[in-house]
Chain A
Amino acid sequence: MTNTRWLVFGLLTLLVVSCGDNWGKKPHVTTPYVLQVPAGFPQPALPADNPLTVEGILLGRQLFFDPILSLDSSQSCGSCHNAAFGFTDHGLTYSLGVDGSVGDRNSMPLHNLAWHQTFFWDGRAPSLREQSLEPISNPIEMKEDVLHVVEKLQRQPRYQDAFTAAFGDEEVTPERMGLAMEQFMLTILSGGDSKFDRFIAGTESLTTEEALGLQLFNGESNPNSPTPGADCFHCHGGALFTNHKFMNNGLDSVLTDLGLGGVTGLTTDDGKFKVPSLRNIAYTAPYMHDGRFQTLEQVIEFYNSGVEPNSPNLDPSMIGFIQTHSGSTRGLNLTLTQRQAVVAFLNTFTDTRVETDTLYQNPFK
């Protein structure tokens, strides 16, 4: 009997002590958000220390589309990552910064980022929260001091409310901005609703041309094999159409942009770039890290006959692209019909949800 009484007393004390800080304050309640992983996708490893909440995502979305993040309030993240272009920059080869400076890489689509581990074409950002602060201070992009953005946001009642809803109080910090934008970007998905996904689900069929494209995409380029193949699946395989690695696909024999090698300092990483997802590829022209190809036909022509065998660190998975097939020159050796079929197949990855889902759109419009 005595024991039980002591136990109850002890527990009560513990409760009181642990609540001490918030005594009298309303507890901070957020609404958990469950990411609807499209059918067939692997499970993502979401950051355990930044659980998705409706409030956090909304704050992130506001920040993403607010030009207040830039030096002269002329540019938001959404300026170079436009939903109508699969979150890329309006078909531009290089984006323009607030002061008109021209960038040196092609803007990247922002979808299915929950499955990525490192960010940018050269992988220099290890997380989305860190990545999302970079464009703000980048002199060829938004060219603004992050701490100045903090001051500007603190003055706005809209953000006082939004930070309170997401984090429990009005305090604006770069860290919280990063966490909120990370949450928003983690929710942008492409998948589940493209023609390709409907084909996999058995609700729509591919045309004969698209079906040939699928077969080529997943087939290997092997001079000994009776069937032709385009070897794409090695790097753009699986439901996400990327392996999330950094590789050299043989664009150049002499490198002007070192890619991953410029970040790690290792010559064995020179020429390696992030393997892009091919989902929504029809939206995101031009192509490659420097936007050198305007059309998918040009991309396929490159893979068919233009791969540079002497490109430094050419990925071994490119071996099928530099074989000599009997009676032909080096390359995949695909006919025009076969090349067109691959393009037709790539066009089945278009998921118009990026344009139509209201959760992804500019909240200020």
Chain B
Amino acid sequence: MKKFALPLLVAGILLTSCDPEKKPEIVNLEVVVQPVFGAGNAPVSYNDASYAMGTDTVKFTRNDFVLSEFALLDEQGARVDIRNEYAYLSLPNRNSFTLPTTIAAGQYAGFAFAIGLDSTTNHGDPSIWGGSHPLNPAVNNLHWGWTGGYIFAAMEGYYQKDGAQTPWLYHIALLENRMEVVVETPLDLTDFKTLTLQLDLEKFFKAVHALSPNEDGDFSHSTFDNGLAHKLSENLSQSFQFASLENQTP
């Protein structure tokens, strides 16, 4: 009997792994963020293209983020947390990340995440993170150095002021400006999928508060800014929307 044990086992493994009907029990999720200006438009062309926004004309040069507290929403709308995962995005080049294969395969009703970090992580020792970890200051360039804490979203570009190209810069930081993003949409995660979200940069200037570099100030480091960073954070948290969900290409 023993003689057959090994061949049987091998055959078993082969059979299982070849079964085309077999669906995984746990899956990962790749998330791609695609920057656009105006819903449904072509991806933003960084550095050179100008976008009209009311009386302003803006360019984008930097959209960097630290993300954390990922969750899926189940069909009752409750959060299924994906803990201890962090991502750093630097659009348009570094525009994706993959959440690990710990997600129970199934149907979900949405995806949520935070732009920014909880207080403990934000003020923890930044030198503990490995060479390529998203929170390593040498990877993300979003750590404020000795003053402590990370910039959650670094938004930069140029606009036209009195006919000349002038920079605008908004660095959104500090706990009170941490952003919760929730994208409600049916998500069939019964297999390994890629979720593409659009970041609508037009909404960054007007989702909740209509703001313009010319009229409301062209820079903020989140302090002494008459609440500008906070308003921008409220806009940014409303600027993400569902674009597509597709099978991962092997």
Q: Interface on A for B, CB 8 Å cutoff?
A: 3, 39-46, 115, 200, 214, 218, 220, 222, 224-226, 233, 237-240, 243-245, 266, 268, 309-310, 314-320, 322
Enumerate chain B residues within 8 angstroms of A115, measured Cβ to Cβ. 138
Residue with the greatest number of chain A CB neighbours at <10 A, chosen from B130, B224, B226: B224
**Known A42-B138, A43-B130, A240-B138; contact A225-B224, beta-carbon cutoff 8 A:** yes
| B127 in contact (CB, < 8 A) | yes
Across the interface, B131 reaches (CB within 8 A) one of A3, A43, A224, namely A43
**Chain B, range 125-152, C-beta contacts under 8 Å to A:** 126-127, 129-133, 136-139, 141, 143-147
Nearest to A223 among chain B residues (CB) is B224
Q: Is the interface of A mostly helix, strand, loop or mixed?
A: loop
CB of B124 to closest CB in A, whole Å: 13
Check if A237 sits within 8 Å of B144, measured CB to CB. yes
Given A41-B127, A43-B129, 12 further pairs, Cβ under 8 A: A3-B6, A42-B137, A42-B139, A45-B131, A222-B225, A233-B146, A237-B144, A238-B145, A243-B141, A266-B47, A309-B164, A320-B219
Nearest to B217 among chain A residues (CB) is A224
Enumerate chain A residues within 8 angstroms of B168, measured Cβ to Cβ. 316, 319
Nearest to B131 among chain A residues (CB) is A45
List the 9 shortest-distance A-B pairs measured between CB atoms, nearest first. A316-B167, A45-B131, A316-B156, A268-B47, A237-B145, A42-B138, A225-B224, A316-B169, A224-B224
| B206 in contact (CB, < 8 A) | no
Check if B167 sits within 8 Å of A318, measured CB to CB. yes
Check if B225 sits within 8 Å of A224, measured CB to CB. yes
Contact flags B220-238 to A (C-beta < 8 A → 1, else 0): 0101111000000000000
**Chain B, range 1-57, C-beta contacts under 8 Å to A:** 6, 47-48
Check if A244 sits within 8 Å of B147, measured CB to CB. no
CB of A42 to closest CB in B, whole Å: 4
Nearest to B3 among chain A residues (CB) is A3
